[in-house]
Amino acid sequence: MTDHSPDAGLPDLQLVIDRQKALGRRLMWLLMVPFIMTGALVYMFIVVKNQISNVQTSSKLIQIESILEKDSNYAWGIHEYENISKSHKSAPILARLGTLYFLANPNDSARAISTLLEANRIDPQAWEPYRALTFVYSSIDRPKEALETGRKAIELNPLDANAYNNLAWVCSHTQDSQYRDLKAALIYAENAVGYTNRKEPDYLDTLAQVYIQFQDSDSKSRAEELLKKAVLISPNDRKSTFVAHFREYFPQEKLED
């Protein structure tokens, strides 16, 4: 006997509905696959594009620094770094830009400091802005700020020879007796010389000037040795500076040809 009750066809109907839902889900996934693939391709394109951009920027920076090393055309360097910072505003880029502002016009330290502080705000953990600030502050004899930023620089990068050298200069040359500390200067200068394997004449010169201020015969002997080394290894366009320092402190001594 055939069942003609109202519920008789429900199981078959439910089966049809379930199959339709399953088919709908499959169709939905099929429709989503192109979107997923497109999204993945877009992401890969962005990553590759950024990598290419970073490589191009790095290549540009190398080119700029190479030219600056040869002719010290700070105005041109500033122009180039300002252009780069428009699309790649990072702490290291702004740190270099701030340094160039100061080198181009030491009388306008405010502009350099403002740029370097902006770099700090972008990345408080970047050591480059602190090192640059140490250089600027030490150059304008603001020892308190120079020591604070220099110590922060070596805290973030304990191998930063440049920051050690700047700290040594502050501690040995500041006019403020409150911050003058020859013992600390000696430690900082020795670190700078040690980390560069005695191959950076500026750091040798700084250490020599620290030793001279101790005014004992052993320290003067070490200073003489360091200045001779600085003269020997310095490039020709900078040699005169170290020769002048040697003759200032050791007028009776002769330099080897």
Q: Do domains 54-126 and 157-257 have the same CATH topology?
A: yes
Per residue in 136-159, pLDDT tens?
Answer: 999 999 999 999 999 999 999 999
Residue 18 has pLDDT above 50, yes or no: yes
Q: Does domain 54-126 fall into CATH 1.10.3470?
A: no
- In this structure, what token pair is assigned to residue 28? 């939905």
Q: Where are the domains of the chain?
A: 54-126, 157-257
Please report the pLDDT score of residue 57 as a whole number.
Answer: 67
Please report the pLDDT score of residue 53 as a whole number.
Answer: 45
Rounded Cα distance, 87 and 62, in Å? 17
Q: Which long-range contacts (CB under 8 A, 24 or more apart) does 50-54 make?
A: 53/87, 53/88
Report pTM: 0.75
Rounded Cα distance, 250 and 255, in Å? 10
Residue 46 has pLDDT above 60, yes or no: no
Q: Does domain 157-257 fall into CATH 1.10.3470?
A: no
